[in-house]
Amino acid sequence: MMEHGGERYPHFPADVLRNLKHINIRHDDVIVSAFPKSGSHWVHEITRLLKLGRLDETNFEKNDVQLEYVPEATYAQNPSPRILSSHVNFRSLPTQVLEKKCKLIYILRNPKDIAVSFYNFCIKMRHLTGYKGTWASFLPMLTQGKLAFGSWFDYVLNWEKGKEMYPDLPVLTLFYEDLKEDTLCGVKKINDFLDLHRDDRFLQKVSDHVTFTNLKRIKGRNHLHDGQSVVFRKGEVGDWKNWFTVAQDEWFDQLYQEKMADCQLRFRYTLDDCN
């Protein structure tokens, strides 16, 4: 990990992080934003296909246009609208995001499934993350913000505050769980938000194309551990139940109440929950 501007990041190129605040943003850029493991590969791909207007199996992914990771020159010449991505806090977004009011697609996922997904990622990518600990020791590290990208609580609260402070900023907020339950509905929301006017037949095609199984087939070979995709792991809502002990669950719920007392967001921890 490395620190920059008071935030924790994976070992990303220092010059890219130094440039983060100064990136040249276009008014028609779209930035898919989320805390890691919230489903950003999935939503980035939906958005990319909607913009393209046809299905495509190019092995391109959100990491290839990630603001805090990839040098600006790599995507500087991409035709508009550029579909970019980021895991940074609202406060760390490039200054021109607020000035140019580009569109942000912001994804939220319940923090228990994020914790499980992040743990599996860190363990499998230990050659990069350096993490060798247990699930039990991972959970407090994550909640205390000791890992890359800091605390999920801080991230979500900062984004909620940012959206409130800049009501003119076009932000589409999507929940992973809703997208899982009704992918077509999410695809339509993105289509409307971006004023793309794709027809219903194409929206259905995109929705059918971006299933977990299909994206895993197309993009799953990018980051492998023992022949298994690190990013496309399970793609389910509620896998946390297989990991959290009763004590961890109670502890986490208590912590959530403390940290998120003033936050209006409601998360779904299973698909039976309503938000």
Note the residues at the interface with ligand A3P (CB under 6 A). 34, 36-42, 113, 117, 120, 180, 210-212, 215, 231-235, 239
Least distance in Å: CB of 155 to ligand A3P? 12
Whole-angstrom CA distances from 207 to 13, 38, 118, 258 are 35, 18, 25, 38
Beta strand 228-229 with 224-225 is antiparallel
Nearer to ligand A3P among residue 60 and residue 166 (C-beta): 60
**Annotated catalytic residue: which of 22, 27, 44, 87?**
87
Least distance in Å: CB of 131 to ligand A3P? 15
Least distance in Å: CB of 125 to ligand A3P? 11
9 DSSP β-pair partners? 2
CB 177 within 8 A of CB 39: no
The token pair that represents 233 in the structure block: 């792991």
Nearer to ligand A3P among residue 145 and residue 235 (C-beta): 235
Nearest to 62 by CA among 54, 72, 70: 70
Ramachandran category for residue 203: left, alpha or beta (phi over 0 → left; psi -120 to 50 → alpha): alpha
Nearer to ligand A3P among residue 10 and residue 96 (C-beta): 10
Contacts of 199 (CB under 8 A, 6+ apart): none
Beta strands in 57-202 (DSSP E): 83-86, 103-108, 171-175
Known catalytic residue: 87?
Answer: yes
Least distance in Å: CB of 180 to ligand A3P? 6
Least distance in Å: CB of 66 to ligand A3P? 11
Q: How far apart are CA 30 and CA 43, in angstroms?
A: 12
List the catalytic residues: 87
